[in-house]
Amino acid sequence: MSAAPKIAKKSGSYHHGDLKAQLVEATRALVEEHGPDRFSVAQACRLAGVSTAAPYRHFETRQDMLDAVTEEGLMRMRTRLAEEAAKHPPGSVEAVAATGAAYVAFAQEEPGVFRLMFSMEGEESSPREAEMRVLGLDCFGVVLDQVAARRGKDRFDPSVLETGMQLWTLVHGLSFLTIDGKFSVMELPVDMPKMLMSASLALLDARPS
Amino acid sequence: MSAAPKIAKKSGSYHHGDLKAQLVEATRALVEEHGPDRFSVAQACRLAGVSTAAPYRHFETRQDMLDAVTEEGLMRMRTRLAEEAAKHPPGSVEAVAATGAAYVAFAQEEPGVFRLMFSMEGEESSPREAEMRVLGLDCFGVVLDQVAARRGKDRFDPSVLETGMQLWTLVHGLSFLTIDGKFSVMELPVDMPKMLMSASLALLDARPS
DNA sequence: TAACATATGTAAGCGATGCTAACTTCGACA
DNA sequence: TGTCGAAGTTAGCATCGCTTACATATGTTA
């Protein structure tokens, strides 16, 4: 990996074919390689083979570049969760567990992007922020629909919402603890799929409070 | 902000009373104010009223300063969890829920430090790293002992371990989703204590797989 | 009390960063 | 063909993390 995949521009040409897309891809790769906070615009420029001023024709700030990667990641996660859930009967424990497993798998495969997606400290309430909120809600909706199907209730039923949030919370914590290596601390090998399955079952079928 | 709490040194004296401790405190304050990744050594120096080179008599790198804050945070969390658990009968749902609530409360009160504590990307396996691992395990041990007491089993029993990890995972996810503002997305007010309690109960008393 | 060793501070400077301003190149369209 | 705007460039600012060389205060020893 050492060899960062240099993204070539059309050789010799002054103007770049599709610099914006290539910068987003470079940003994604660097976020994955060094983590969101260590990402630098200058490195992305080197990857794309342009000067350090070039990105500012396409993005207002460094944060804008990161936001683009965040958005793309959220969209990928949304489709992935939906695909995984669709492989099993609606409302089944298998469907819920598979969705959760896909969530964790995403975090494991792309920890940098995952971290980026779920740690926006700036609450700017920009239109961009709104877009991302919607994308996040779409992801949550996949789980919510499963719970609703199992209970035979509405998607916005309070008990459905509570259980949905418990499930989301669980896989979210599982994702972070996994990518931060907190589980490797213990010697005993933990069977994560099994743990996820049993927890999903316990939460899904808990007697209502 | 403006008025960041300037930490005065003994006025007029060349030598600083206890610069190391004051730098740690300044680091903690800045991490809390701007987030771990936006912390800068120079700002901490300004807060403590010394030159930008002074910290390097006490810390090797910027990361060392952050590590000091991390360690102090882990110790504070450990005692806090233990205190909270001790207020209820060992192995009771109340004890488990109270411990979890304390975990989330810490995250809410000090999101910067909390984020710092649980996102060490560098796996250096330094002696420092080992210390922090132990501190983290101590925190987990508080929960583990509660589950063990409830089940009347050993702390290292596999089923105890699995449930303990599920509980930890849940509150960890709850903490992150809370400080990242993902819950405020929905209009419906979520009763977090109740949700935490019911989830703890469901996981604690789930029929063994 | 004098002098030295040590701990702890300062000043100056290196390379890299995010970002801006002013200039240059190139392609699209009249 | 001529011109205009989009999309690059170079040059430069302020700040950053960190290092090196030097200055000052303090405690121990004689």
Question: A114: pLDDT confidence band, cut at 50, 70 and 90?
Answer: very high
pLDDT of residue A184: 77
**3-state class of B155 per DSSP?**
coil
Instruction: Report how far residue A66's alpha carbon sits from residue A48's, in angstroms, rounded to the nearest whole number.
Output: 16
pLDDT tens-digit series, residues B107-165: 999 999 999 999 866 556 677 888 898 999 999 999 999 999 999 999 999 999 999 99
pLDDT tens-digit series, residues A70-90: 999 999 999 999 999 999 999
E-only strand ranges, A37-172: none
Residue A48 to chain B, least CA–CA distance (Å): 25
- Tokens 């798998």, located at residue: A105
Q: How many CA atoms lie within 13 A of A179 on its CB side?
A: 24
Chain A residue numbers with beta carbons less than 8 Å from the beta carbon of B166 are 170, 195, 198-199, 202
Residue nearest to nucleotide C16 (CA to C1'): A42
pLDDT tens-digit series, residues B67-112: 999 999 999 999 999 999 999 999 999 999 999 999 999 999 999 9
Q: Is the CB of A12 under 7 A from strand C?
A: no
- Tokens 């996981």, located at residue: B203
Bases of chain D with protein Cβ within 7 A? 7-12, 15-21, 24-26
Asked whether the beta carbons of B175 and B111 are under 8 A apart, the reply is no
pLDDT tens-digit series, residues B159-187: 999 999 999 999 999 999 999 888 876 65
Asked whether the beta carbons of A176 and B118 are under 8 A apart, the reply is yes
Interchain CB contacts (distance < 8 Å): A and B: 115
In this model, does residue A168 exceed pLDDT 50?
A: yes
Q: How far apart are the first and last CA of chain B?
A: 53
pLDDT of residue A141: 96
